[in-house]
Structure 1
Amino acid sequence: MTTSPIETKAMQLLSKMTLDEKLGQLSQTCGAGGHIPQYLVEGIQKGRVSSVINEVDLATVNELQRIAKEESRLGIPLLIGRDVIHGFKTIFPIPLGQAAAWSPELVEKGARIAALESARAGVNWTFAPMIDIARDPRWGRIAESLGEDPFLCSQLGVAMVKGFQSDDLSTNGAIAACAKHFVGYGASESGRDYNTTNIPENELRNVHLQPFYFAAKSGVASFMSSFSDLNGVPASGNQWLLKQILRDEWQYKGLVVSDWESIKELKVHGLSASDKDSARLAAKAGIDIEMQSTCYIDNMKALIDESKIQESEIDSLVLNVLQTKFALGLFDQAYTDLSTLPAYLNHEHLSAAKEAAQKSCVLLQNQSRNGASPILPLNKNDTKRIAVIGPLANDGYEQLGTWVFDGEEQHSISCLSGLKEIVNEGTEIKFEPVFASSRDKDTQQFEKALSITEQADVAILFLGEESILSGEAHCRSNIDLPGAQNELIEYLSQSSTPIVLVILAGRPLTIQPIVNKIDSILYAWHPGTMGGIAIAEILFGDACPSGKLPVTFPRVVGQVPIYYAQKNSGRPAAEWSYVHIDDVPQRAPQTSLGMAATHLDTHFTPLYSFGFGLSYAEFAYHDVNISDNKIVIGESFSVTLKVENKSEIDADEIVQLYIRDLVGSVTRPVKELKGFQRVYVKAKSIVNVNFELHTDDLAFYDINNKLNVEAGDFLLGVGKDSSLELNVAFELIN
Structure 2
Amino acid sequence: MNINEKVGQLSQFGRSIYGGVESYYEDHYKEGKIGSYLGVTGANKTNMVQKNLMSETPHNIPAIFAYDVIHGYKTTFPTPLTQSFSWDTNVVRECASVSAKEAYAAGVKWTFAPMVDIARDPRWGRIMEGYGEDPYLCSEMAKAAVEGYQGDFIGQKDKVIACAKHFVTYGACIGGRDYNSADMSLQTLHDVYIPPFKAAFDAGAATCMAAFNDFNGVPCTCNKYLLKDVLRKQLGFDGVVISDAGAVVELIPHNVCDNVKDAVDLAFNAGIDIIMAFDPFNDNIPELVEEGRINIEDVDKAVERVLVIKELLGLFDDPFVEEEGEQCFFSPEHRAVARDSARRSVVLLKNEEKVLPIEKGAKIALIGPLAENKADVLGSWAGLCEPEKTITVMEGIAGAYGWEKVFYAKGCDIDSSDKSGFDEALHIAKQADVVILAVGESRDMSGEACCRSDLRLPGVQEELISKIAETGKPICAIVFAGRPIVMESWKDSVKSILFAGQTGTETGNAVADIISGEYNPSGRLTCTFPYSVGQIPIYYSALNTGRPALGKIRFEAKYMDAPIEPAYCFGYGLSYTEFEYSNLKLSKKEINKDEFLDISVNVKNIGEFDGEEVVQLYVRDLIGTSARPMKELKGFKKVFVKKGETVKVEFRLHALSLAFHNFDMEYVIEPGEFKIMIGKSSQDIVLEDNFYVKEGII
TM-score between both structures, scaled by the size of structure 1 = 0.92
Specify the alignment match of 2:210 in structure 1. Answer: 225
The reply to whether residue 730 of structure 1 matches residue 691 of structure 2 is yes
**CA–CA distance in 2 between the matches of 1:572 and 1:330?**
59
The reply to whether residue 163 of structure 1 matches residue 148 of structure 2 is yes
**CA–CA distance in 1 between the matches of 2:20 and 2:425?**
49
**CA–CA distance in 1 between the matches of 2:380 and 2:21?**
28
The reply to whether residue 380 of structure 1 matches residue 380 of structure 2 is no
Specify the alignment match of 2:49 in structure 1. Answer: 64
Task: Provide, for residues 312-370 of structure 1, a one-character-per-residue CA deviation record: whole Å limited to 9, x for no partner.
Answer: 11111111111111111111111001346761111111111101100110000001xxx
Tell me: CA distance 1:206–1:470, structure 2 relative to 1, closer, same or farther (3 Å): same
**CA–CA distance in 2 between the matches of 1:386 and 1:37?**
47
Offset of residue 712 of structure 1: 1.1
Offset of residue 77 of structure 1: 1.1
Offset of residue 701 of structure 1: 1.6
**CA–CA distance in 1 between the matches of 2:668 and 2:684?**
27
Specify the alignment match of 2:333 in structure 1. Answer: 348
Offset of residue 719 of structure 1: 1.8
Specify the alignment match of 2:4 in structure 1. Answer: 20
1:633-712 to structure 2, matched below 5 A, reads 633-712=593-672
SS of 2:673's partner is strand
Task: Provide, for residues 444-489 of structure 1, a one-character-per-residue CA deviation record: whole Å limited to 9, x for no partner.
Answer: 2222211211111011000000101111000000000111111111
Specify the alignment match of 1:85 in structure 2. Answer: 70
Q: Which residue identity does 1:621 align to in structure 2?
A: Y
Q: Pick from 435, 444, 449: which aligns with 2:425? A: 449
**CA–CA distance in 1 between the matches of 2:29 and 2:94?**
35
Q: Which residue identity does 2:310 align to in structure 1?
A: K
Specify the alignment match of 2:394 in structure 1. Answer: 416
Specify the alignment match of 2:454 in structure 1. Answer: 478
Task: Provide, for residues 515-541 of structure 1, a one-character-per-residue CA deviation record: whole Å limited to 9, x for no partner.
Answer: 111110000011000011110110111
Q: Given that residues 189 and 197 in structure 1 are in contact (C-alpha distance below 8 angstroms), is that contact kept between their aligned partners in structure 2?
A: yes
The reply to whether residue 101 of structure 1 matches residue 86 of structure 2 is yes
Offset of residue 173 of structure 1: 1.2
**CA–CA distance in 1 between the matches of 2:446 and 2:201?**
28
Specify the alignment match of 1:714 in structure 2. Answer: 674
Tell me: CA distance 1:23–1:729, structure 2 relative to 1, closer, same or farther (3 Å): same
Q: Which residue identity does 1:652 align to in structure 2?
A: E
Q: Pick from 495, 520, 528: which aligns with 2:504? A: 528
**CA–CA distance in 2 between the matches of 1:360 and 1:71?**
49
Tell me: CA distance 1:37–1:466, structure 2 relative to 1, closer, same or farther (3 Å): closer
Q: Given that residues 717 and 724 in structure 1 are in contact (C-alpha distance below 8 angstroms), is that contact kept between their aligned partners in structure 2?
A: no
The reply to whether residue 611 of structure 1 matches residue 571 of structure 2 is yes
Q: Given that residues 437 and 477 in structure 2 are in contact (C-alpha distance below 8 angstroms), is that contact kept between their aligned partners in structure 1?
A: yes
Q: Given that residues 398 and 405 in structure 2 are in contact (C-alpha distance below 8 angstroms), is that contact kept between their aligned partners in structure 1?
A: no
Q: Given that residues 138 and 479 in structure 1 are in contact (C-alpha distance below 8 angstroms), is that contact kept between their aligned partners in structure 2?
A: yes
Tell me: CA distance 1:154–1:426, structure 2 relative to 1, closer, same or farther (3 Å): closer
Deviates more, 1:46-55 or 1:301-310: 301-310
**CA–CA distance in 2 between the matches of 1:472 and 1:283?**
25
1:513-592 to structure 2, matched below 5 A, reads 513-577=489-553
Offset of residue 555 of structure 1: 0.3
Q: Which residue identity does 1:190 align to in structure 2?
A: G
Offset of residue 714 of structure 1: 0.6
Q: Pick from 301, 306, 313: which aligns with 2:286? A: 301
Offset of residue 628 of structure 1: 1.0
Specify the alignment match of 2:555 in structure 1. Answer: 595
Q: Given that residues 674 and 691 in structure 2 are in contact (C-alpha distance below 8 angstroms), is that contact kept between their aligned partners in structure 1?
A: yes
Q: Given that residues 35 and 60 in structure 1 are in contact (C-alpha distance below 8 angstroms), is that contact kept between their aligned partners in structure 2?
A: no
The reply to whether residue 324 of structure 1 matches residue 309 of structure 2 is yes
Q: Given that residues 130 and 144 in structure 1 are in contact (C-alpha distance below 8 angstroms), is that contact kept between their aligned partners in structure 2?
A: yes
**CA–CA distance in 2 between the matches of 1:650 and 1:671?**
30
**CA–CA distance in 1 between the matches of 2:448 and 2:23?**
32
The reply to whether residue 144 of structure 1 matches residue 129 of structure 2 is yes
Q: Which residue identity does 1:617 align to in structure 2?
A: T
Structure 2 gaps, min length 5: none
Specify the alignment match of 1:431 in structure 2. Answer: 408
Offset of residue 500 of structure 1: 0.7
Q: Which residue identity does 2:360 align to in structure 1?
A: K
Q: Given that residues 70 and 383 in structure 2 are in contact (C-alpha distance below 8 angstroms), is that contact kept between their aligned partners in structure 1?
A: no
**CA–CA distance in 1 between the matches of 2:546 and 2:307?**
53
Specify the alignment match of 1:268 in structure 2. Answer: 253
SS of 2:25's partner is helix
Q: Pick from 393, 397, 402: which aligns with 2:380? A: 402
Offset of residue 185 of structure 1: 0.5
Q: Which residue identity does 2:382 align to in structure 1?
A: V
Question: Percent identity of the aligned residues?
Answer: 40
Q: Pick from 18, 30, 42: which aligns with 2:14? A: 30
Q: Given that residues 90 and 344 in structure 1 are in contact (C-alpha distance below 8 angstroms), is that contact kept between their aligned partners in structure 2?
A: yes
**CA–CA distance in 2 between the matches of 1:126 and 1:142?**
19
The reply to whether residue 505 of structure 1 matches residue 481 of structure 2 is yes
Task: Provide, for residues 406-458 of structure 1, a one-character-per-residue CA deviation record: whole Å limited to 9, x for no partner.
Answer: 011111100000011001x47422111011x3111212222221121111101
Q: Which residue identity does 1:304 align to in structure 2?
A: V
Q: Given that residues 546 and 615 in structure 1 are in contact (C-alpha distance below 8 angstroms), is that contact kept between their aligned partners in structure 2?
A: yes
**CA–CA distance in 2 between the matches of 1:21 and 1:541?**
61
Specify the alignment match of 1:463 in structure 2. Answer: 439
Q: Given that residues 26 and 290 in structure 1 are in contact (C-alpha distance below 8 angstroms), is that contact kept between their aligned partners in structure 2?
A: yes
The number of residues matched between the two structures is 693
TM-score between both structures, scaled by the size of structure 2 = 0.97
Deviates more, 1:333-342 or 1:622-631: 333-342
**CA–CA distance in 2 between the matches of 1:37 and 1:709?**
54
Q: Given that residues 604 and 644 in structure 2 are in contact (C-alpha distance below 8 angstroms), is that contact kept between their aligned partners in structure 1?
A: yes
SS of 1:268's partner is coil
Q: Pick from 254, 257, 261: which aligns with 2:242? A: 257
SS of 2:530's partner is coil
Offset of residue 39 of structure 1: 6.7
Offset of residue 124 of structure 1: 0.4
Q: Given that residues 14 and 24 in structure 2 are in contact (C-alpha distance below 8 angstroms), is that contact kept between their aligned partners in structure 1?
A: no
Task: Provide, for residues 654-689 of structure 1, a one-character-per-residue CA deviation record: whole Å limited to 9, x for no partner.
Answer: 111000011222221111000001100001110001
**CA–CA distance in 1 between the matches of 2:498 and 2:490?**
13
Tell me: CA distance 1:665–1:319, structure 2 relative to 1, closer, same or farther (3 Å): farther
Q: Which residue identity does 2:566 align to in structure 1?
A: P
Q: Given that residues 84 and 526 in structure 2 are in contact (C-alpha distance below 8 angstroms), is that contact kept between their aligned partners in structure 1?
A: yes
Tell me: CA distance 1:236–1:35, structure 2 relative to 1, closer, same or farther (3 Å): closer
Structure 1 gaps, min length 5: 1-16, 368-372, 578-593
Specify the alignment match of 1:630 in structure 2. Answer: 590
Deviates more, 1:330-339 or 1:636-645: 330-339
Q: Which residue identity does 1:416 align to in structure 2?
A: M
Task: Provide, for residues 215-260 of structure 1, a one-character-per-residue CA deviation record: whole Å limited to 9, x for no partner.
Answer: 1111101000000011000000000000001111111110000000
**CA–CA distance in 1 between the matches of 2:7 and 2:430?**
69
**CA–CA distance in 2 between the matches of 1:459 and 1:124?**
46
Q: Which residue identity does 1:480 align to in structure 2?
A: R
1:165-244 to structure 2, matched below 5 A, reads 165-244=150-229
Q: Given that residues 5 and 58 in structure 2 are in contact (C-alpha distance below 8 angstroms), is that contact kept between their aligned partners in structure 1?
A: no
**CA–CA distance in 2 between the matches of 1:159 and 1:44?**
38
SS of 1:449's partner is helix
**CA–CA distance in 1 between the matches of 2:541 and 2:81?**
18
**CA–CA distance in 2 between the matches of 1:254 and 1:221?**
5
Specify the alignment match of 1:4 in structure 2. Answer: none
Offset of residue 733 of structure 1: 0.6
